[in-house]
Amino acid sequence: MYTMNGYMAGCNLGHWISQYGRKGAEHWDTYITEPDFARMAQWGVDHVRLPVDYFIFEKDDNPGVYLEDGLKYVDNTIAWAKKYGINVVLDLHHAPGFFFGNGEKNDLFTNAASKARYINIWKNFAHRYAGEGENLRFELLNELVWDNSDPWNALWQETAAAIHAVTPERKVIVGGNKWNSVWELKNLYVTDNPNIVYTFHMYEPFIFSHQRASWIPNHVAYTKPVTYPFAADDHLDYYGGQLPAQMERGGMVDKKYLRKIFAPAAEFIEKNGRPLYLGEYGAIANCDDDSAVRWYNDVADLCLEYGIGRAVWSYRGFAKITDGQNEVHDIRMVEAIARK
């Protein structure tokens, strides 16, 4: 059994200092604060994944100058987490030259200046947090979307080497292509360096986890509620009459289906003898509570079976772990995401 000790049951701190829209300091100073860490520790959460957008601490017109006004939020996260016995994954969610939603605008792999800025950011983090131990891990990039994995395999190895030149024991997390798809794990270069950790994301079945999501036009148009589990044929019209490969006509979309989705992860662990980290999973607030609880528990069951650490998206926003007032929405969801 390969496990992610200390990183088995976590929460993403999404929409705080990443993907925050046009919000500013008032939002950053209030959205996540120290009492949130006390509460997560009480739940049994052992780590947080902190998505960070580079422009909160570095401006495009002044690259290489890192702003304390932005970095203090990372500092605070590490300090608060340590106080309450929680570990931290520092995730560069929006990097110079790359964001998973930017498509052709991305130039991280084609622009030397973007590449240099990216590596230098991680060098700066390595120096800044050199005194931290296993309580802090670095996740180099969120949700690669590129024509193939070769440029990323080269860049992450170069970046990890730069980090390890400063802090040789720092755990560095890398994910695969197509939004960190589990199916892309096979295209990640696997090194014998024990300080490299591999990750994927999982929101299957997407029709359930993102039902009626406002930013996905065909989900807005598809107003039929999706419970979990469900009969595949009940939503055949959503799939245009052609079910995905892992679904069966006349079959159920349930834990057995999720096991098929997890199959490449199980194969990766078996083949490489390396632990895996599920950096994002979650059920949108539009899901009914009972279905969400069942789904969260099925995901937890499979992660625990395979020794996969996981972090729900997200502590605030998207899911119904907490409501709009940051109060616990349904204790059953909390219990499911905190299972270890």
The CA distance from 4 to 261, in Å, is: 20
Q: For residues 232 and 245, is the Cβ–Cβ distance under 8 A?
A: no
Q: Is 335 a catalytic residue?
A: no
pLDDT tens over the chain, length 340 residues: 456 899 999 999 999 999 999 999 999 999 999 999 999 999 999 999 999 999 999 999 999 999 999 999 999 999 999 999 999 999 999 999 999 988 888 999 999 999 999 999 999 999 999 999 999 999 999 999 999 999 999 999 999 999 999 999 999 999 999 999 999 999 999 999 999 999 999 999 999 999 999 999 999 999 999 999 999 999 999 999 999 989 999 999 999 999 999 999 999 999 999 989 999 999 999 999 999 999 999 999 999 999 999 999 999 999 999 999 999 999 999 999 999 9
Whether 243 is covered by a domain: the verdict is: no
Query: In this structure, is residue 46 part of a structural domain?
Result: yes
Does residue 136 fall inside a structural domain? Answer: yes
One-letter amino acid identity for 232? A
Residue 223 lies in a domain: no
d(CA 77, CA 279): 18
Return the H-helix or E-strand segment holding 220: helix 217-221
Candidates 286, 314, 282; CA nearest to 296 is 282
**CATH number of the CATH domain containing 156:** 3.20.20.80
Q: Is residue 256 part of a domain?
A: no
Signed CA dihedral, 296, 93, 219, 239: sign only: negative
Are 337 and 318 in contact by the 8 Å Cβ rule? The answer is: no
Measured CA to CA, the distance from residue 155 to residue 140 in angstroms comes to: 10
Question: How far is it between the farthest Cα atoms of the chain?
Answer: 58
280 is catalytic: yes
Instruction: Considering the candidates 58, 139, 143, 204, report the single residue annotated as catalytic.
Output: 143
Structural domain contains residue 331: yes
Looking at the domain assignment, is residue 228 inside a domain? no
Q: Does residue 266 fall inside a structural domain?
A: no
**Hey, which bits of 62-130 come out as E strands?**
87-94
pTM for the model: 0.97
- In sign, the C-alpha dihedral spanning 206, 108, 51, 213 is negative
The rounded distance, in Å, linking the Cα atoms of 311 and 279 is 5
List the beta bridge partners of residue 94. 53
| CA angle, residues 292, 296, 297, in degrees to nearest 5 | 120
Cα–Cα distance list, 255 to 27, 96, 303 (Å)? 38, 39, 12
Q: Domain span at residue 94?
A: 9-203+274-337
Angle at 201 between CA 196 and CA 202, to 5 degrees: 145
Counted domains in the chain? 1
Active-site residue identified among 280, 305, 327, 335: 280
